[in-house]
Amino acid sequence: DAKTTQPTSMDCAEGRAANLPCNHSTISGNEYVYWYRQIHSQGPQYIIHGLKNNETNEMASLIITEDRKSSTLILPHATLRDTAVYYCIVRVGISGAGSYQLTFGKGTKLSVIP
Amino acid sequence: DAGVIQSPRHEVTEMGQEVTLRCKPISGHDYLFWYRQTMMRGLELLIYFNNNVPIDDSGMPEDRFSAKMPNASFSTLKIQPSEPRDSAVYFCASSLVQGRAGNLNEQFFGPGTRLTVL
């Protein structure tokens, strides 16, 4: 799997956009970028994933650079409930032995401040 | 949909006792995963099933751990005998691997079972 690098922590004012960066310079052509978050005392929650095009859903937007070596997760209007650890994971998107292992690194602890 | 359901939410037991954790995946999902999370080791995949069949149990720490999935709506993770080092939060997750490309790793996690072995 491609290694990912994320900042340890970030603060964001409530109501503002939270932009969480992730570097994955060794990503392969068949690897997707997945984002999860884990709110304290809860299970990890899938947010979004993408291959090379930008993606948007009801939770967030994912911007992937043209060379695919980095990406940014955008929470357009952060609320206090978005305070969590956010994980960027790079994985292949096809089945096969070991394909389902989600390796959660240390992630970025996002604190949304009132 | 109620999401992935796990029970119990908290379990405190003594060393040597048998522990059974339960999971009900999201209806219609064809993959089920068991993870363990500790501060030291983070989130680890223990085993996963596809259509009720165990596919990869290489993450199961030792023979004291066993998992079953007798039908599409129920799975158990059993520890016998339990040891203090098994104390952790155990998560069950399910996934539907079809449809949009890349959704292989779109896994839906339950709330977890916090296990404490004294």
A27-72 pLDDT, tens per residue?
988 888 999 999 998 999 999 999 998 999 999 999 999 999 999 9
Amino acid identity, residue A24? H
Question: Which tops the pLDDT comparison, A86 or B104?
Answer: A86
The pLDDT value recorded for residue B30 is 87
| Position A105 confidence tier, pLDDT thresholds 50, 70, 90 | confident
Contact criterion met (CB below 8 Å) for A33 and A24: yes
Q: Point out the least confidently predicted range of A100-109, B13-22, B48-57.
A: A100-109
Contact criterion met (CB below 8 Å) for A69 and A81: no
The pLDDT value recorded for residue B2 is 81
C-alpha dist (Å) from residue A45 to A18, A34, B3: 17, 11, 11
Q: How many residues are recorded in chain A? A: 114
User: What's the token pair of residue B16?
Assistant: 């040597």
Contact criterion met (CB below 8 Å) for B86 and B35: no
| Position B100 confidence tier, pLDDT thresholds 50, 70, 90 | low
CA triple B63-B66-B70, angle to 5 deg:
155
Residue B56 pLDDT > 70, yes or no? Answer: yes
How far is it, in rounded angstroms, from Cα B66 to Cα B61?
A: 10
Interface residue B51 vs chain A (CB under 8 A): no
Chain B: nearest CA to A99, how far in angstroms? 8
Chain B: nearest CA to A64, how far in angstroms? 15
Counted across chains A and B, CB pairs separated by less than 8 A come out at 64
The 3-state DSSP composition of chain A as helix, strand, coil percent (nearest 5) reads: 5, 45, 50
CA triple B8-B91-A58, angle to 5 deg:
115
Residue B10 pLDDT > 90, yes or no? Answer: yes
